[in-house]
Structure 1
Amino acid sequence: MSIQHKITCKACFAYGEKDVRVEQRELEYSDSDILVKVDCGGICGSDIHYYQHGRAGMSVLKHPMVVGHEFVGVIEKAPADSGFHAGQRVAVNPSQPCNHCAFCLEGKQNLCKTMRFMGSAQFNPHINGGFSEYVVATKTQCFAYSKVSPKVMAFAEPTAVAIHAVNVAGTLVGKKVLVIGAGPIGCLIMAAARSSGAAEIVASDVSARCLELAAEMGANAIFNPMEKGSADRYQVNSGYFDVVFEASGSPAAIQSTVAFTRPSGTIVQVGMGAASVEYPVMPMLVKEITWVGSFRFINEFATAVSWLEDGRINPLPLLSAEYAPESIEEALIAAADKTRSSKVQITF
């Protein structure tokens, strides 16, 4: 039987709406666990929702929870047979699927109904996240890296989301691609699409700042759909694009995807902003468009680590600011302000 150990460390807890606190926590781990000292982590939209509303979608805070699921660190302790050692830098995959349900056995672990996703209040008790001085992980969650800075590798999780979306779309070699919504995920989709052979990448957003970032992250052209006539050339002749990624979640944006997509093209829905929308079903049907959802990632986390490590994707244009954990509330407020922030990180 494994011996249990305890360590006391500070962590960022969400208590409820507009209530986040930095407190000491007692973390338990066994000899079979990997103990990771956290370097830094990125704030995601779900972290912002837990702060703003006390919930993220249907996941409602019922007790204090450590937030954050985009993080990296250094191994403090690891079992001798784990393949890891103290001092090794690792990106931590926040996904913990059951690996025995039908979806897991089909290789679709992202659809696991009992997924224990770090920093999520889906289940009670909640699954604590990575905004903590130390976290406990399994060897299957840890991916070693050495060539880039922690603030680069902290983008591994959202980069995995982007690569999964690209994989869902199918081959992009030689394809004309539109990405609607140039936030962090949208911009990382552009970078992943370029790395996957897309011939032309166009970005759409209502924010001038986001469009500037899109140009840095791989877009060949940009447009603001609120500017009259800016989208016209992409909607003539039954649609211009082979593949459209909708990464904003805006109802108006979702409705617009069909007009941009050529007959027999593909729309990948990534944005989660709207629970339901009015959708142009008849034009979609007549054009035989494939409309498919993309949720989290599967084995793309390993690919994301590799692509960040070898410089295939450079996410640093998206990094807007870094904060100490004691400033978690200020950081969450800054991350929610899309007029000045793309990705905000907490540095331990």
Structure 2
Amino acid sequence: MKALLLEDVRKISIKDHPEPTEKDDHVICKVNAVGICGSDLHYYSEGGIGTTCVGKGFVPGHEFSAILLEAIPEMNLEEGEHIAVDPAKPCFECKWCKKGYENLCPYVEFIGAPPFNGAMAQYVSIKKHQIHKIPNHFTPQTVVLLETLGVALHAVDLSKTKFHQEICILGSGPVGLCILKILKNMGTKSIHVVDPIQYRVQHALNNGADKGFGSVDEFIEYNNGSGVDLVFEATNSPHGLNLSIQASNIGGNIIVVGIPDGDGYQFKASEARRRGISIKFSRRMGEVYERTISMVEKGLVSLDDLATHTYSLNDGEQAFLNNLDYKDNVLKSIIFPNT
């Protein structure tokens, strides 16, 4: 089969790759569509995230939809059916899983995170319990974005958002926009979005943000020198946490969702301490996948506007480069490996 391989930092090849083999409780599926996530961009541009390093010939991709090549009667799934896939396979046995922290499982096998190859290939092997049945009308693009929505939903869950709070979202990429969509659906009182890229600010306004700004300084000036009670940090900037602190009120809360370039933040500890700010980091998503499907099925959240660009597998490297350079008003790029 053909696959997209990360060979080195900023070096991609499209090559023949061994097809996945049958394993107990796994099925082989044909990849329909796969999205480029921020973590994929870090793997490509930096060679890893923290201690997770990409080896030569690694296949990325964890946001994907697939087509069953065989029926799964016990799940009421037929051959040829379009499915969604939760990329995480936690152990369910460690003390952290038993405490409900499956997304933090130290033993997780995560499709598309080293050392486990991902879905930027024509076929992939999936454990049955990672498969989710979806409504027939869901497009491949919608299914790809369910994982993005799940990351946003988990962050909102962690925040314990109150509808009367004033909120600021730093970063208007796919995750930040999904957070915005969820908060709007909750009836949240006031939501501001900050992003230095103008087309992304406009996209947030189109999705119901009350105000959009190009910088935190602009937001603070508009807000009469005051911050807000809750900030979602959804950028890739090493300055994102410091900017979130600046945007916070005394006693405020920050939920950190973004992954910073270089795996580090620079911030003034004294400012956070003197304001008594609480900072919580959010990783991937909890057990929320079925909720994301339900939200989209009921029309509570629409994801179609986030899928802005599509590519063939052969054009995969151009897709990565366009995302890194924010070309052509890109939000989410989706690769179709079998076209």
- Following superposition of structure 1 onto structure 2, how do residues 9-24 of structure 1 map, counting pairs within 5 Å? 9-17=1-9, 18-24=11-17
Alpha-carbon offset, residue 67 of structure 1: 1.3
Given the alignment of the two structures, is residue 132 of structure 1 paired with residue 106 of structure 2, yes or no?
A: no
Alpha carbons of structure 1 residues 83 and 229: separation in structure 2 relative to 1, 3 Å: closer
The CA deviation at 1:105 is: 0.8
CA offsets per residue over residues 287-311 of structure 1, 9 Å max, x none?
3322111111111222222222333
Q: Distance in 2 between matches of 1:49 and 1:261?
A: 28
Q: 1:248 — aligned with what?
A: 235
Matching of residue 32 in structure 1 with residue 25 in structure 2: yes
Residue of structure 1 equivalent to 2:148 = 158
CA contact (8 A) 2:3 2:120 kept: yes
TM-score (norm 1): 0.89
Measured after TM superposition, the shift of residue 160 of structure 1 is 0.6
Deviation by residue 1:100-120 (Cα, 9 ceiling, x = unmatched): 111111110111112111111
- Report the counterpart of residue 168 of structure 1 in structure 2: 158
Q: What one-letter code is carried by the residue in structure 2 that aligns with 1:269? A: V
> Could you tell me which residue of structure 1 aligns to residue 187 of structure 2?
197
Aligned-pair CA distance for 1:229: 4.4
> 1:127-172 CA deviation, whole Å, 9 max, x = no partner?
0111222212122211111232111121011111100110110133
Matches within 5 A, 1:208-227: 208-225=198-215
- The residue type paired with residue 255 of structure 1 is N
* 2:169 aligned residue: 179
**Which structure 2 segments of 5+ residues have no match?**
none
SS where residue 171 of structure 1 aligns? coil
Q: Does the aligned pair in 2 maintain the 1:71–1:154 contact within 8 Å?
A: yes
Find out whether 1:271 has 2:258 as its counterpart.
Answer: yes
Give the Cα–Cα distance (whole angstroms) in 2 for the partners of residues 52 and 256 of structure 1.
24
Give 1:97 deviation, angstroms.
0.9
Distance 1:299 1:283, change over 3 A: same
Of the three residues 307, 310, 319, the one matched with 1:319 is: 307
Distance 2:298 2:242 in 1: 37
Distance 1:251 1:335 in 2: 18
Report if the CA contact (8 A) 1:22-1:326 is conserved: no
Kept after mapping to 2: 8 A contact 1:67/1:128:
yes
Shift in Å at residue 19 of structure 1?
A: 2.8
CA 1:90/1:46 → structure 2, altered by over 3 Å: closer, same or farther? same
1: CA distance, partners of 2:55 / 2:150: 29
Q: How does 1:72-151 map to 2 (within 5 A)?
A: 72-121=65-114, 126-146=115-135, 147-151=137-141
Q: Which moved more, 1:322-331 or 1:192-201?
A: 192-201
Note if contact 2:62-2:87 (Cα within 8 Å) is conserved in structure 1.
Answer: yes
Name the CA distance, whole Å, in 2 between partners of 1:306 and 1:89. Answer: 16
**What runs of 5+ residues in structure 1 fail to find an aligned partner?**
1-8
What is the identity, as a one-letter code, of the residue corresponding to 1:11?
A
Distance of aligned partners of 1:222 and 1:76 in 2 relative to their CA distance in 1, 3 Å threshold: same
Q: C-alpha distance in 1, partners of 2:74/2:44?
A: 39
Contact 2:20 2:28 in 1 (8 A): no
Deviation, 1:188, is: 1.1
TM-superposed CA distance for 1:240, in Å, is 3.6
Note the alpha carbon deviations across 1:236-285, whole angstroms, 9 max, x for none.
Answer: 2xx34221001114233321222322233211111111533343333433
Q: Which moved more, 1:308-317 or 1:151-160?
A: 308-317
Partner of 2:197: 207
Distance 2:191 2:132 in 1: 30
**What SS is found at the alignment partner of 2:77?**
coil
Aligned-CA RMSD value: 2.0
Shift of 1:339: 4.1
Q: Which has more helix, going by share of residues?
A: 2
Measured in 2, the distance between the counterparts of 1:291 and 1:235 equals 24
Residue 169 and residue 37 in structure 1: after superposition, are their counterparts in 2 closer, same or farther (change >3 A)?
same
**Cα distance in structure 2, aligned partners of 1:202 and 1:271:** 17
Q: Percent identity?
A: 26
Whole-Å separation in 1 of the counterparts to 2:265 and 2:63: 29
Which letter does structure 2 place at the counterpart of 1:65?
Answer: F
Counterpart of 2:333? 344
Q: Please give the secondary structure, in 1, of the residue aligned with 2:73.
A: coil
